Amino acid sequence: MNLSSLAFNNYSFSYERSLTRKMTLVAGYSFIPKSIVSSIPLVEKGLDQSAEDEDDLIEQLQNSTIANKAYTGELRFYSGKKPGARGLYLALYGRYMNLDATYSHEYETDSRTYEIPIDGKITGLGGGLMVGAQWLIAKRITFDWYIMGGHLGKMKLDLDGKSDLSTMTPAERKELEEEIESVNDDLPWNPKVDATVTSNGVNVKGNAPFAGIRGLGFSFGIAF
């Protein structure tokens, strides 16, 4: 179990099996149960130290939720003379993630402010490398240190915001679409985001490359 991920309310488990003398296969599963973003331990600590003029951000996080599932498969290549899963290792891994989020988006026009509840899903698939080290610290207890690694991949985005926008003019709907799609120019790596605004709400679909960091964590395990 990865203990360091608990700071993000993320529960992570893995199973490792030897394939050869110094090569293993690891299957991992992690999840964040549906949580209010402001209640996640690391976020909560950051909010406690935030300035008073960030009340709007705090309110947004208090009204937003997140849930996530991730599946990881990796091959580990261990160094050292001792047999088995111990010592410094290089991991080649792939990961699939599925994230659900909700939040409320406020859009202001000349005549009124619209509150649009957003329900979104992001899925992503990526792969990368990580360096780590594992030791047997007791007869059947292992300590696994994820030193540093990273991955690249591609993600898909699907956001749906059902709201009564019938009083919004065609020009205002077009302006909202352009505001959402401006991320195509603002973000690196050329994301492709398309927004559609109708009298019934907002729909956003897109895909983009992404990069992630994996490391600076540790876990304890049971050897058998």
What digits encode the pLDDT tens for the residues 134-187? 999 988 899 999 999 999 999 999 999 999 999 999 999 999 999 999 989 988
> What pLDDT does residue 188 have?
84
CA distance readout (Å), 83 to 28, 108, 171, 224: 23, 64, 69, 15
The CA R_g of the chain, rounded to the nearest whole Å, is 22
* Nearest alpha carbon to residue 8 among 220, 214, 221, 222: 214
CA distance 86 to 200: 57
The number of distinct structural domains making up the chain is 1
Domain that holds residue 54: 4-222
What is the value of pTM for the model shown? Answer: 0.85
Over residues 58-116, the pLDDT tens digits come to 777 788 999 999 999 999 999 988 888 999 999 999 999 999 999 998 899 988 999 99
> What pLDDT does residue 50 have?
63
Name the amino acid, one letter, at 213: I
**Residue 53 or residue 80, greater confidence:** 80
> pLDDT confidence of 41, banded at 50, 70, 90?
confident
